[in-house]
Amino acid sequence: MRLFYISLILSAAVASLFAADPALTSYASVKPILKERGDRLPAELRNVDEAQWTAWSRRQDQAIRARLQQGDLDSMVNLLLFGTSFTKRPRIRVEDITEASKSGALRAR
């Protein structure tokens, strides 16, 4: 199943390079894959038409972009709290974050 998702994602990525809207893969480009996989697809992708595929693609795109944005924020917070290569100030423990914020230690990092 994992290999299927990887192949679907790779196919979608390649197809999106040639699609009119680079953020979404056209139904026409994935239709052969969807037909080939048939009953091995998740329920929401079985017997889909173009409108359903577009809606599913948009939802997946939004979910992926939201995860990436959250990952960026998580990385910034981890760097701010725990990073040492950019400052000589001590790390801030999660338990002390409220106090560090009030005292200015968080901003100083």
Tens of pLDDT along 71-83? 998 998 888 888 8
CB atoms within 10 A of CB 4: 14
What would the 3-class secondary structure string for 54-72 be?
HHHHHHHHHHHHHHHHHHH
E strand intervals along the chain: none
Tens of pLDDT along 29-43? 999 988 888 888 888
Domain boundaries, the chain: 1-48, 66-109
Rounded Cα–Cα distance for residues 58 and 95 (Å): 39
Residue 27 CB contacts under 8 Å (≥ 6 apart), including other chains: 48, 49, 50, 53, 54
Tokens for 103? Answer: 């005292």
- Average pLDDT for residues 51-79, to the nearest whole number? 91
- Average pLDDT for residues 10-29, to the nearest whole number? 66
Has this prediction a pTM greater than 0.85?
Answer: no
